[in-house]
């Protein structure tokens, strides 16, 4: 092995908070509603790149859903996906 240990090594970051500690996310720049959820019926794969690679935050600091990721929207989106999936003949129940 070479003397340069940085090649092939894995960087494991230290967690800023541990279980049982009070966590603070004040320094996070992201807020609920920063990323809009594309319509699953009409979007293309490239419309979801920002969501796939970014942080999606739906709940605010008080635990209330905001943006277009509200509970009703998420429920309707799941129902749409399930109806499409089941319409194609897939089923989780055998």
**Digit-coded pLDDT (tens) for 58-93:** 667 777 776 665 667 777 777 887 777 777 665 555
Confirm if 70 and 78 have CB atoms less than 8 A apart: no
Q: Token digits for 74?
A: 């998420």
pTM of model > 0.95: no
Residues whose CB is less than 8 angstroms from the CB of residue 24 and which lie 6 or more positions away in sequence, other chains included:
17
Return the bridge partners of 65, or none.
59
Predicted local confidence at residue 94, as pLDDT: 46
Confirm if 32 and 67 have CB atoms less than 8 A apart: yes
**Digit-coded pLDDT (tens) for 40-63:** 889 888 888 777 776 666 667 777
Which residue in this structure is represented by tokens 């429920």?
A: 75
pLDDT at 1 over 50: no
């Amino acid at each position: 092995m070479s003397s340069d240990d940085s090649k092939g090594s894995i960087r494991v970051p230290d967690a800023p908070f541990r279980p049982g500690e009070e966590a603070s996310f004040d320094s996070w720049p992201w807020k609920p509603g920063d990323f809009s959820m594309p319509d699953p019926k009409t979007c293309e794969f490239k419309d979801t790149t920002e969501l796939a690679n970014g942080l999606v935050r739906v709940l605010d600091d008080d635990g209330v859903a905001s943006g277009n990721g509200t509970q009703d929207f998420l429920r309707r989106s799941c129902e749409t996906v399930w109806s499409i999936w089941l319409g194609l003949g897939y089923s989780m129940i055998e």
